[in-house]
Structure 1
Amino acid sequence: MNDATRQPIRFLLSDMDGTLLLPDHSLSSRTIDAVRALREAGIYFSLATGRPPRAMLAQIKTLGVDLPTAAFNGGTIVHPDGRFLARHHLPVDAAITTIELFSTQPEVEVWVFADGEWLLRDPHGPMVPREQHGLGYPPVVVKGFEEYLPRIDKIVAASNNASLLVELEAQLQARVDGQAQVSRSQPVYLDVTAMEANKGQALVTLAAFLGVDLAHTAALGDGGNDPAMFHKAGLSIAMGQAQEEVRRQADRVTASNVDDGAAQAIERYILAR
Structure 2
Amino acid sequence: MSEPTQQSIRFLLSDMDGTLLLPDHTLSQRTIESVRALREAGVLFSLATGRPPKAMLQTIEALGVDLPTAAFNGGTIVHPDGSLLVAHYLPGTAALTTLALFADQPGIEVWVFSGGDWLLKDPHGPMVPREQHGLGYPPVVVESFEPYLTRIDKIVATSNNHELLIELEARLLPMVEGQAQVSRSQPVFLDVTAMQANKGAALATLAEFLGVALEHTAAMGDGGNDPAMFQCAGLSIAMGQAEEVVKHQADVVTGPNTEDGAAQAIERYILPR
Distance 2:3 2:21 in 1: 30
CA contact (8 A) 2:4 2:252 kept: no
Per-residue Cα deviation, 1:223-267 (whole angstroms, up to 9, x for no partner): 000000000000000000000000000000000000000000000
Aligned to 1:257: 257
Residue aligning to 1:189: 189
Cross-structure match for 1:224: 224
Aligned to 2:270: 270
Equivalent residues of 1:5, 1:234 under 8 A apart: no
Cα offsets for 1:12-41 (capped at 9, x unmatched): 000000000000000000000000001100
Equivalent residue number for residue 34 of structure 2: 34
Q: Runs (4+) of structure 1 moved beyond 2 Å? A: 1-6
Instruction: Work out the number of aligned pairs and report it.
Output: 273
Q: How far apart are residue 117 of structure 1 and its match?
A: 0.1
Is residue 233 from structure 1 mapped to residue 233 from structure 2 by the alignment? yes
Identity in percent: 75
Does the 8 Å CA contact 1:5/1:251 hold for their aligned counterparts? Answer: no
Q: Secondary structure at the match of 1:6?
A: coil
Report how far residue 200 of structure 1 moved. Answer: 0.2
Q: Partner amino acid for 1:36? A: R
Specify the code of the residue in structure 2 equivalent to 1:187: P
TM-score, normalisation: structure 1: 0.99
Is the partner of 2:153 in helix, strand or coil? strand
The 1-side partners of 2:94 and 2:5 are apart by 37
Q: Equivalent residue of 2:208, what SS?
A: helix
Quote the offset at 1:115 in angstroms. Answer: 1.2
Structure-to-structure mapping, 1:1-273, within 5 angstroms: 5-273=5-273
**1:223 aligned partner, one-letter code:** G
- Structure 1 residue 2: deviation in Å? 9.3
CA contact (8 A) 2:214 2:232 kept: yes
Structure 2 unaligned blocks of 5 or more: none
CA drift at 1:6: 2.5
Superposed CA RMSD: 1.2
Give the deviation of 1:4 after TM superposition: 7.5
Inter-partner Cα distance in structure 1 for 2:61 and 2:96: 36
Question: Structure 1 residues 141, 209: closer, same or farther in 2, change over 3 A?
Answer: same
TM-score between both structures, scaled by the size of structure 2: 0.99
Q: What SS class does the counterpart of residue 236 from structure 1 fall into? A: strand
Q: For structure 1, which runs of at least 5 residues remain unmatched after alignment? A: none
**Counterpart contact for 1:4–1:235, Cα < 8 Å:** yes
